[in-house]
């Protein structure tokens, strides 16, 4: 029982912003609103919100690798695409009976993680770090896009699943829960909303625990000073590789959910622009904290969508400017700066009371 409690005590700690009753009360209120949201909204908006949530996973994965681990990876979209395509290939071949879709989800994530393991082995055990890591992962991502884009011919198929080149794959089955008296199909509205929201809460809290555990502290120590961490006896390469693989699995989860949501996946989901967007969310939100990444991602996504509707082609220019300005003016991220300000004010006030 004690160990159980100690486990949950890791929800708060030095590596995550937000602690104490006030934070968790706000968290509970937000969660309650999120749960009640489909009741007061229409199916389309709920489906759109699911779309936002799906991107949070890839943002969190980048936050883990880049913000906490200190290695900038452009490969998240590659893992996203690999998992998305794997899900499509698996479900188109084996159907969706007996809840196989969840099995396919896990397998697709495992494939993405395996790919990251191989790539990460070469990179981290070759001791490339810093800018080179970014370049190699970017090259891998672009390569994958080009490879998938040229698979238009009928000779490119795995089982019965055609890869379809630049048009991408489509018509894969949505997630289903096997149920006596007819499977429950999670279409891209309320059903999928609760499934994704549940996953999001689990992943967010899980990452909080992970980052405040001994493992997370070592990861941050490596970011701050790799030589010192190594001198203290930690195998830096192994820790970095594990972080990279966890991040890849999260990005893969994002990819599978994206495929499930729209029932399609295209090579351009791995292209330059697709790879840039998660970076913008995480940088603007504040890469060194999970909560700010989560908030930043949702805010920037909503703003981006509004801009796309009203300003169509200027949206990407604006996003680029936002990124450059964030890096120049608020390198820690806009949301994180605001959050730090709030907690400092709160601390001052409680000091004044005492």
Partner 1 sequence: MDIATLMFSALYQFGDAFAFLVLSACGLAVIFGMMGVINLAHGEFIMCGAYVTASTVHAGLPLPLAIMTGAIVAALVGALVELVVIRHLYDRPLDTIVATWGLSLIATQGTLIMVGSTMAGVGTPFGSFQVGDYSYSSYRLVLFASALGVLGGLYMLFNWTRFGVLARATIQVPHMAAALGVDTRLIYSLTFACGAGLAGLAGGLYAPTMTLVPTMGATFIMEAFVTVVIGGADVFLGTAPAGGVLAVVKSAMTSWQGQLFGQIGLLVAVVIVVRVLPKGISGFLLRERT
Nearest approach, Cβ of residue 347 and partner 1 (Å): 28
Residue 227, phi-psi category: left (phi > 0), alpha (psi -120 to 50), beta (remainder):
alpha
Our CB check for partner 1 shows the closer of 104 and 119 to be 119
Our CB check for partner 1 shows the closer of 236 and 323 to be 323
Quick check: 16 and 291 in contact, CB under 8 A? yes
Our CB check for partner 1 shows the closer of 259 and 297 to be 297
In this structure, the dihedral spanned by the alpha carbons of residues 110, 115, 119 and 121, taken in order and rounded to 10 degrees, is 40
Nearest approach, Cβ of residue 259 and partner 1 (Å): 24
Nearby residues of 289 by Cβ (< 8 Å), 6 or more positions away: 16, 17, 63, 67, 336, 339
Nearest approach, Cβ of residue 165 and partner 1 (Å): 12
Distance CA 335, CA 211 (A): 20
Quick check: 199 and 253 in contact, CB under 8 A? yes
Distance CA 92, CA 99 (A): 14
Cα angle: 326, vertex 330, 331; to 5 degrees: 85
Distance CA 200, CA 294 (A): 10
Which two three-digit tokens encode residue 264?
A: 């399609």
Our CB check for partner 1 shows the closer of 20 and 331 to be 331
Our CB check for partner 1 shows the closer of 171 and 324 to be 324
Our CB check for partner 1 shows the closer of 9 and 146 to be 146
Our CB check for partner 1 shows the closer of 101 and 297 to be 297
Nearest approach, Cβ of residue 331 and partner 1 (Å): 6
Our CB check for partner 1 shows the closer of 19 and 238 to be 238
Nearest approach, Cβ of residue 271 and partner 1 (Å): 8
Handedness of CA 247, 251, 252, 256 (dihedral sign): positive
Distance CA 10, CA 13 (A): 6
Stated as kind and residue range, the H or E segment containing 343 is helix 334-353
Which of the 8 DSSP states describes residue 159? T
Nearest approach, Cβ of residue 333 and partner 1 (Å): 11
Nearest approach, Cβ of residue 279 and partner 1 (Å): 6
> Which residue from 64, 79, 110, 71 is spatially nearest to 215, judged by alpha carbons?
64
Positions touching partner 1 (CB under 8 A) are 72, 119, 122-123, 125-128, 130-132, 134-136, 138-140, 142-143, 146-147, 150, 272-273, 276, 279-280, 283, 313-314, 316-317, 319-324, 327-328, 331
Helix (H, G, I), strand (E, B) or coil at 264: strand
Quick check: 334 and 285 in contact, CB under 8 A? yes
Nearest approach, Cβ of residue 123 and partner 1 (Å): 7
Our CB check for partner 1 shows the closer of 105 and 119 to be 119
Nearest approach, Cβ of residue 322 and partner 1 (Å): 8
């Amino acid at each position: 029982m004690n160990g159980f409690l100690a486990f949950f005590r890791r929800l708060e700690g030095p590596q995550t912003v937000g602690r104490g009753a006030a934070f968790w009360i706000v968290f509970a209120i937000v969660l309650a609103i999120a749960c009640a949201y489909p009741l007061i909204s229409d199916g389309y908006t709920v489906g759109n919100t699911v779309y936002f949530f799906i991107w949070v996973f890839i943002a969190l994965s980048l936050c883990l690798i880049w913000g906490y681990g200190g290695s900038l990876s452009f490969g998240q979209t590659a893992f996203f695409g690999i998992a998305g395509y794997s899900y499509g290939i698996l479900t188109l071949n084996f159907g969706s009976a007996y809840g196989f879709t969840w099995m396919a989800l896990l397998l697709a994530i495992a494939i993405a993680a395996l790919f990251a393991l191989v790539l990460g082995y070469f990179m981290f055990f070759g001791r490339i770090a810093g800018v080179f890591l970014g370049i190699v992962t970017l090259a891998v991502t672009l390569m994958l896009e080009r490879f998938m884009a040229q698979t238009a011919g009928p000779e490119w198929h795995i089982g019965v699943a055609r890869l379809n080149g630049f048009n991408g794959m489509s018509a894969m089955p949505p997630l289903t829960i096997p149920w006596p008296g007819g499977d429950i199909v999670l279409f891209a509205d309320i059903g999928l909303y609760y499934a994704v929201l549940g996953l999001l809460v689990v992943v967010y809290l899980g990452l909080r625990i992970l980052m405040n555990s001994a493992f997370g502290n070592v990861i941050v120590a490596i970011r701050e000073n790799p030589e010192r961490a190594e001198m203290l006896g930690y195998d830096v390469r192994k820790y970095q590789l594990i972080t990279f693989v966890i991040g890849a699995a999260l990005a893969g989860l994002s990819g599978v959910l994206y495929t499930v949501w729209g029932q399609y996946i295209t090579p351009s989901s791995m292209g330059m622009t697709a790879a840039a967007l998660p970076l913008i969310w995480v940088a603007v939100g504040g890469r060194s904290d999970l909560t700010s990444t989560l908030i930043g991602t949702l805010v920037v996504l909503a703003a981006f969508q509004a801009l796309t509707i009203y300003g169509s082609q200027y949206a990407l220019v604006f996003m680029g400017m936002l990124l450059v300005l964030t890096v120049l003016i608020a390198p820690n991220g806009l949301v994180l700066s605001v959050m730090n300000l709030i907690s400092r004010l709160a601390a001052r006030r409680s000091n004044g009371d005492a």
